[in-house]
Amino acid sequence: MSGAGLAHSPAPTHGPAHPPSAEVTALMTKALPDYPGKQAEMITVTYPPGSVDPVHRHNAHAFVYVLEGSIVMGLNGGKEVTLTPGQTFYEGPNDIHTVGRNASLTKPAKFVVVLLKNENAPVLTPVD
């Protein structure tokens, strides 16, 4: 099939009602006795192709390390950054995560997040 034939194809008129959701896997949670009331939590996040996060916050220090694929991150409505394997990203406890998505519509992306947060606090809090 030639590329010229694809250029004239009509755009699809329907798609999924919602983008696919991220898959979150808890790896470890550890109380931090030297920091009373605080804990560290390590998770992996897998974005299926086309996955988009809702706007949220973590109320934590969040350290991100990309394992595979490419992800797009943005905080507080600011500049978006595209991260690839081996790159890192930081979110502070007062940041609003306004953009979080897979940069690809065809390949998954996976990253590790280490959160330093209050004990028993949720990993993610939606923001309206």
* Tokens of residue 64, six digits: 């991100």
Looking at residue 12, its pLDDT comes to 47
Residue by residue, pLDDT tens for the chain (128 residues) are 444 444 444 444 444 567 899 999 999 999 999 999 999 999 999 999 999 999 999 999 999 999 999 999 999 999 999 999 999 999 999 999 999 999 999 999 999 999 999 999 999 999 98
**Ramachandran angles phi, psi of 98, nearest 5°:** -85, -25
CA distance 25 to 49: 17
Alpha carbon 60 to its chain centroid, in Å, reads 15
Give the start-to-end residue ranges of the domains of the chain: 19-43+52-122
Looking at residue 94, its pLDDT comes to 95
Looking at residue 96, its pLDDT comes to 97
CA distance 119 to 88: 24
Looking at residue 18, its pLDDT comes to 78
Domain 19-43+52-122 matching CATH 2.60.120.10: the answer reads yes
Looking at residue 46, its pLDDT comes to 98
SS3 84: coil
